[in-house]
Amino acid sequence: MIGFLIQRLLQALLVIVAMSIIVFLGVYAIGNPIDVMIDPASDQALREALIHRYGLDLPLIQQYFVFMSNMLHGDLGESFIYRLPVLSLIFSRFPATLELALTAMLIATCLGIPLGLWAGYKPDALSSKAIMAFSVLGFSVPTFWIGLLLIMTFAVELGWLPSGGRGPVSTVLGMPLSIGSLEGLSYIILPAFNLALFKLGLLIRLTRAGTVEVMSSDYVRFARAQGLSESKVVGLHVLKNISIPIVTVFGLELGSTLAFAVVTETVFNWPGMGKLIIDSITVLDRPVMVAYLILVVFLFVLINLVVDLVYGQLDPRIRVKASS
Amino acid sequence: MSEPVLSVKDLRTQFKIRAGVLNAVDGVSFEVGRGRILGLVGESGSGKSVTGYSILGLIEQPGFIAGGSVLLHGRDITRLTGEELRRVRGAQIAMVFQDPMMTLNPVLKIGTQMIAAVRAHDNVSRKVARGRARDALAKVGIPSPEERLDAYPHQLSGGMRQRVAIAIALLHRPAVIIADEPTTALDVSIQGQILAEVRRLADETGTAFVWVTHDLAVVSSLADDICVMYAGRIVETGPAAEVIAAPRHPYTAGLLASVPAEHEPGDRLPQVPGSTPSLANLPRGCAFAPRCFKAGPACTTTPSIQQFEDGRSALCHYPIESDSCQPHSSTSTTYRSAS
Amino acid sequence: MSAPVETRWGRLANFWSDFRQSPVAVAALIVIATVILMAVLAPLVAPQNPYNQETLDLFDARLQPGEVGSGGYVHWLGTDAAGRDVFSAILYGLRTSLIVGMMAGTFALVLGAVVGLIAAYYGGRVEALIMRVIDLQLSLPAILLALVLVAMLGQGLPQLVAALVAAQYAYFARTTHGAASAERRKDYIEAALSTPIPARQVLFRHLLPNALPPLIVVATVQVANSIALEATLSFLGLGLPLTQPSLGSLISNGFQFLLSGRYWISIYPGIALMLTVVAINLVGDQVRNVLNPRRSR
């Protein structure tokens, strides 16, 4: 088990280093940020000074090593635009994104699993077909477009919910959160639902497929032959069996939800990391882009690792393999 | 035989498919008494497994029970629905399935699955249920049952898993256990042990067994009575020893001829020529006629049941006479020349 | 040589008779055909050329659907802030979106199939390395990769297509690799490889055809995904400029007017986008069911 863990950790480290090189080279190959930062009319001396100050005159390899050694010291550079350390800039936006992503995942889970169970339990029912049609919409229609529809319906036409922004936040457990107050909740509900739709569609499909498979299995037939009630069959056999793929996907999707928040945050003007990266891309704020990407990759690798470990706990067949 | 525990009368199970309706079980009748073992024999596709599932109402769409009755202690359980049927399943009639690798949920501990089975019918605490599960495991000859309860199915061998399945079937001391090819997937030595265990359980607990199998050798060593099925119908019934010694129906004779134990090593094993017909286009009249060495002009009409001595019967126009000596060696030569 | 052609037609006929079992899929196919036709015929059907600045009149700005503008014709879907006829803009936008989607889908298919085949064919370290990279790429959301690439390459049609291809080829590569490597392990391929038959022929005669059915399914879905992704990037302001409007940039263009009740500038292009993407997905679903019936139920 320990060997397995060390092996996975080394792999993860390798991935992060490889990605940092790719991201660094990729991002630093774009245009000249100095042109964006200063007035084009300003004199050459000021340009040179700035280029030198940010080390942009060094060879790319050297820039990378400077960047890496700084990163190992916890310094990911300073934003060209905000003139703030990138790390603190990103972390100041992180709670908003995390809250949005987790709320979205919660909505997707609470709706997706029961709907998927039903659609898998009664695959031929009209209601099941409606659920499946909804799930197709959920993951094929672009998120931003659904966001617009939500705004138009609930904010503009009905006027029930605010159209964007984060509203008031209250500090819960040291983090500024929206869900602490009813008014804050009214701000998060539309973006969270918007962000949830894709996962919801996915989760419904996944749950349904798993349910159909388990319901037609011999052990469910055997359980019925023992006189287990239908609720017990579903609650015991189906739920336990589908929990494995669902946990996997759920874990992996947490990362992509954080990434997809880019779109939802732009639509709903939600002040999170995603909004920050979009703004940084348009103004070529390299340090922010690089730091954001490396952090996201790091997050992904971390989540993958955790999912692998949880998976092993859930599936006894894997657990045996890992220990032997 | 005294009052039968289970009595199946003219059972019909059909499957609705795009091309029409298939008669998977076409008017099957039999009885099983207390502590008796009935062998339900046939090739795959003969409808023997569907008969087993039909008794417990476990037929799934697009199948349905089209007629007949299943009397348990005189009560027709095909008329039961929902909760009433659930109370019969596992408590009064239990079932053991063919493949022990598939009948236990791989991600649940043996104990979890057994406790659920106990509590499906008896409102007892988990602790009491666990105790009963342990006792049931011990009863079917599983060593250190307490530890087995915490094991996952994949940690047990196939034979052990099938014993677990039998233990689960025994939990509520059912009147009848329907076993669908429960030893087919096992090694021969394990199979022998389990058969002996089942015989002992039937004698000790008085549980009646319906033993569904394609293997006449198993039936001959285990069953009291025998029903041979072909294309959804029972073609021959009678006490196991007598049917095997002197089959009346040509199909039974053919099956017996193909049992390897009856032949010298190196002999060519005779087979019933042809293969099981598709239920979608059965021949008119006797379904076995195209493969039958005794088929005659009358076989284009459906045969009626012919009764013989000792409660034996066969569904045949030209049953094999009882005085024909060495019935299966003679049939085997016939088949050999025919193929 | 006529026999294989016949069976090919026979197979196509079989495919179609299976496909039309689903009325929804047939309807979706009709929607797709209509959308493509409208996009192709845009210059003939559209009352106005939205690319041409000279035909735009600011007096026509933000007309409601159904109003008549200075051009003397009815703007059935209204006009945007620059006086662009929304209906015409949608037709031209569909063109851009479809071209981007199909180009990205095709290039990603070719690139992915080649990479997947190479991995399956060579096996060993090459395979391990390629599939590692593919897996890693697949674990990152496409939107993220596309964002980075667009940021790196700048704006414009070729850059956008390149970004979409780079973000999506991995799906094709994995699909091809899966099907081809299963085939690669079979004895007859080993036998063929030990003869002087050129490897190229083995690749294209045996490995590729086996990967085709799943590739077709992935391709349909990926065209829809490319269209959606392009729209998303354009909406985020990282896609195509409004002088070359795709559906995404049209929606983005109308977003600011949404809150003031001028819904039509965003909503109608959005509906066109939604119809297209959902229809392609539905067709893809049915193609999957037909090509792989076991998975459908």
C84-96 pLDDT tens trace: 777 888 888 888 8
Q: What is the ipTM score, two decimals?
A: 0.81
Q: Could you tell me what percent of chain C has a pLDDT over 90?
A: 3
pLDDT at A111: 92
Place of tokens 């994949």: B154
Residue from A226, A233, A238 whose CB has the most chain B CBs within 10 Å, to mutate: A226
Q: Which residues of A touch C152 (CB under 8 A)?
A: 26-27, 29-30
Instruction: Please give the interface size between A and C, counted as residue pairs whose CB atoms are below 8 Å apart.
Output: 113
Q: Do chains A and C touch (3 or more CB pairs under 8 A)?
A: yes
Instruction: Report the chain B residue with the minimal C-alpha distance to residue A312.
Output: B107
Nearest to C217 by CA among C291, C139, C155: C291
The β-bridge partners of B210 are B38, B178
The shortest C-alpha distance from B76 to chain A (Å) reads 17
Which member of A15, A212, A281 has the closest CB to residue C147? A281
pLDDT greater than 90 at residue C107:
yes
Nearest to A252 by CA among C170, C175, C233, C138: C138
Q: Which of A35-44, B101-110, C24-33, C135-144 has the lowest mean pLDDT?
A: A35-44
Q: Which of A239-253, B241-255, B258-272, C158-172 has the lowest mean pLDDT?
A: B258-272
pLDDT greater than 60 at residue B163:
yes
Q: Could you tell me what percent of chain C has a pLDDT over 70?
A: 84
Written as one string, the DSSP assignment of C255-275 is HHHHTTT-THHHHHHHHHHHH
| Mean pLDDT on B131-156 | 89
Task: Residue count of chain A, please give it.
Answer: 324
Pairwise CA distance, residues C278 & C50, whole Å = 26
pLDDT greater than 70 at residue C98:
yes
Q: For residues C154 and A26, is the Cβ–Cβ distance under 8 A?
A: no
Q: For residues B14 and B33, is the Cβ–Cβ distance under 8 A?
A: no
Digit-coded pLDDT (tens) for C24-72: 888 888 888 888 888 888 777 777 777 766 666 666 666 666 666 666 6
The answer to pTM > 0.80 is no
Work out the end-to-end distance of chain B between its first and last CA atoms, rounded to an integer number of angstroms.
41
pLDDT top residue among A157 and B173: B173
- With an 8 Å Cβ cutoff, is C238 touching chain A? yes
Q: Which residues of B touch A223 (CB under 8 A)?
A: 105, 113, 116-117
Amino acid making up residue B163: R
The dihedrals phi and psi of B129, each to the nearest 5 degrees, come to -60, -40
Work out the end-to-end distance of chain C between its first and last CA atoms, rounded to an integer number of angstroms.
38
Instruction: Report the chain A residue with the minimal C-alpha distance to residue C153.
Output: A30
